[in-house]
A and B are shown apart, each in its own frame.
Chain A
Amino acid sequence: MATPGQLMFARRLGPTARLLIWLLVGVSCVVVDARYRALDDLRSGFSLLLQPAREILRVPSDIAAELGGFFARHRLLQKERDALLAERARLLVSVNAAKELVRENAELRTLLQLQTRPGQQAVQAALLYQGHDWFAQRITLDLGGGGGLRSGLPVVDATGLVGQVSRVYPGSSEVALVSSPDQLTPVFVERTGQRGLAAGSGHGQMELRYMPAQTDIRAGDRLLTSGIDRVYPAGIPVARVSRVSRSQSSPYLRVECLPLAGLDRSRVVLVLIAEPQVTTR
C-alpha cells in the first residue's frame, strides 16, 4: 500500500478548513469589489476571454433571424413598405417643422444669451449578451472603449430610453437597464410638466417616486427625460404610467410605470455620445 517515501499519515487540510479559507477569500473579494471597485481589471480580463466565444455563439440566432427574414411573405413586405412610406411622409413634414423650430430656438437662445446645448452623436451597437443577475438588470453590447463609449452615456432604441452605460471594457460594454433596481432617471410628465424621479423596480417595471398625493397624474401618462441631470438629453420617452394608487401609510402616491423601450426585445440600440461642450462665448 504505502510506497517508500510516501508519508503514511500525511494529512491534508480537511474540507471544513478549506471551505473556511475559500469563504474568507470570497468575502474579501466581495468587499474589495463592492466597496472599493478595485477588481475592474479582472473584469476586463474576463471580457477579453469571453468576447470571442460570445460573438461566435451569437451566430446561430443571427442566422435564424436572417432565415426568418428571408422567408417573410411578399405581401407582408409590401404592406410594411406602404406603412413606412406613409410614415416617412409624415416624418418629413415634422422634420421641416423641427428645423424651423431649431432655427427659431437658436435665435431666441442668442437673444437670451443662453449657452447652446451640446450636440448629440448616436452610435449603433448590437446586443451581445443578456445578463442573468437578479439584483440589477444589465445587458452587454458589442461596442466598448474602442468605439468611443464611456461610462455614463445614455442608451436608447427606436421607442425610448433603454438605460445607461455602466461599465466599459475594451471590446464590449455593460448597460444598466432603466428597469434595474438601482437605476434612477429624472423625468417629467408629458401632460402636466411635473418633474419627478423614476426608479427601476426590477422585473421589467419602474415606479415614479416621491409624488405628493395631490399630484395630477393618471394611468396612460407618458414620462420623458427632463434633462436636468445633464446625463440624458431632454425629451426621450422613458415609460408610460400603468397604475396609480394611494397608500394609507405614505404621503406619496404609488405610481407604477412600464418602460417604453423594448428592454428585452431590442437587438440593436443607439448609444448617444455627447460632443464636448461647445462654448460659443
Chain B
Amino acid sequence: MNMPTQALGSWRRILGSLTLAVLLEQLPWSGWALALRPDFVLVGVLFWTLHQPARIGFGAAFFLGLLADFQDGAVFGQHAIAYVTGVYLVLFLRMRLLQFDPFRQAAQLFPILLTVQLAVLLIGWLAVNPPASLAMLLPVLSSTVLWCLIALFVRLWHGKGLQDRA
C-alpha cells in the first residue's frame, strides 16, 4: 500500500492541489452551501500529511490555518492551532490509516476532523465569545465525504479496482 505514495505527489501536485483548495474556498459561497461547505484546505493538508509527511506537515498546516483565519475574519491562530492538531493526529495514526480502503479510512478520519472542528470551537469560545449554534459541526460530515471521494479517486487513478481490498 506504500507503493502509490512514491508515485504520488511531486511538489507540483502538492502545491497545485493545495492552491486549488484555497481557491475553492474563495468562491462566493452562501446560505446552505456555505453551512455545508467542506473544509477543502484541511482535507488537502491532512491528505498530503498522510501520503507525504516529509513534505507537508506542521509548518504548512499552520500557515494555511492562518489563511483560513483571515478569510473567516476569525482571531488569528484559531484554525492554525486546530489544523496543527489534525496533522499530529494523522501522523500518530498514519501507519494504521494507510492500511485501510477508502471507506474505512474516511470512517477513521471522521473523529480526527471532528477533533479539529472542536478545537476551532473551543479556541473561538475562549478567545472571542460563545458560538451561536452547533451548526459548525456540519462541515465535519461533508469533509469526511470529500475525503472518501478523494481517496476513491486516487485509488482508481492508480489502477486499483474498487473490488481490491488492500
Known: A19-B85, A19-B88. A47 touches B58 (CB 8 A): no
Summarize B's interface: helix, strand, loop or mixed: helix
Which of these, A130, A135, A182, contacts B30 with CB under 8 Å? A130
Known: A57-B27, A129-B26. A34 touches B128 (CB 8 A): yes
Q: Give the segment of B73-81, B99-107, B146-154, B156-164 that binds chain A.
A: B73-81
Which residues of A sit under 8 angstroms from B70, Cβ to Cβ?
Answer: 42-43, 46-47, 50
Asked if A30 contacts B75 (CB within 8 A), the reply is yes
B114-166 at interface with A (beta carbon < 8 Å): 121, 123-125, 127-133, 135-136
B132 CB to closest chain A CB (Å) equals 2
Asked if B77 contacts A54 (CB within 8 A), the reply is no
Q: Does B28 contact A (CB under 8 A)?
A: yes
CA distance A218 to B59 in the complex (A): 55
A96-141 at interface with B (beta carbon < 8 Å): 127-138, 140
Output the nearest chain A residue to B94 by Cβ-Cβ distance.
A15
Residue among A22, A32, A182 having the largest count of chain B Cβ atoms under 10 Å? A22
Asked if A134 contacts B135 (CB within 8 A), the reply is yes
Which residues of A sit under 8 angstroms from B77, Cβ to Cβ?
Answer: 26-30, 33
Size of the chain A interface, CB-CB below 8 angstroms:
49
Output the nearest chain B residue to A39 by Cβ-Cβ distance.
B76
B14-32 at interface with A (beta carbon < 8 Å): 22-23, 26-31
CA distance A138 to B58 in the complex (A): 29
Size of the chain B interface, CB-CB below 8 angstroms:
48
B42 CB to closest chain A CB (Å) equals 12
Asked if A133 contacts B72 (CB within 8 A), the reply is yes
Q: Does A201 contact B (CB under 8 A)?
A: yes
Q: Does A53 contact B (CB under 8 A)?
A: yes
Which of these, A15, A60, A133, contacts B91 with CB under 8 Å? A15
CA distance A272 to B131 in the complex (A): 30
Q: Does B2 contact A (CB under 8 A)?
A: no
CA distance A140 to B71 in the complex (A): 9
Which residues of A sit under 8 angstroms from B125, Cβ to Cβ?
Answer: 135
Known: A57-B23, A57-B26. A182 touches B91 (CB 8 A): no
Asked if B73 contacts A130 (CB within 8 A), the reply is no
CA distance A47 to B76 in the complex (A): 14
Which residues of A sit under 8 angstroms from B76, Cβ to Cβ?
Answer: 29-30, 32-33, 39, 42-43
Which residues of B sit under 8 angstroms from A131, Cβ to Cβ?
Answer: 71-73
A→B interface (CB under 8 Å): 15-16, 18-19, 22-23, 25-30, 32-34, 39, 42-43, 46-47, 50, 53-54, 57-58, 60-61, 127-138, 140, 166-167, 174, 181-182, 201-203, 264
A-B contacts, 19 of them at CB < 8 A, read A15-B92, A18-B57, A26-B84, A29-B77, A34-B75, A42-B76, A46-B67, A53-B22, A53-B26, A54-B26, A57-B27, A129-B26, A130-B29, A134-B132, A134-B133, A135-B128, A136-B74, A181-B130, A202-B131
* 5 A-B pairs with the lowest CB-CB distances in the bound complex, closest first: A202-B132, A29-B77, A26-B81, A30-B77, A46-B70
> With contacts A15-B91, A50-B67, A54-B26 known, what are 14 further pairs, Cβ within 8 A?
A22-B58, A30-B76, A34-B75, A42-B66, A53-B22, A129-B71, A130-B29, A133-B124, A134-B132, A134-B133, A135-B129, A135-B131, A167-B73, A203-B135
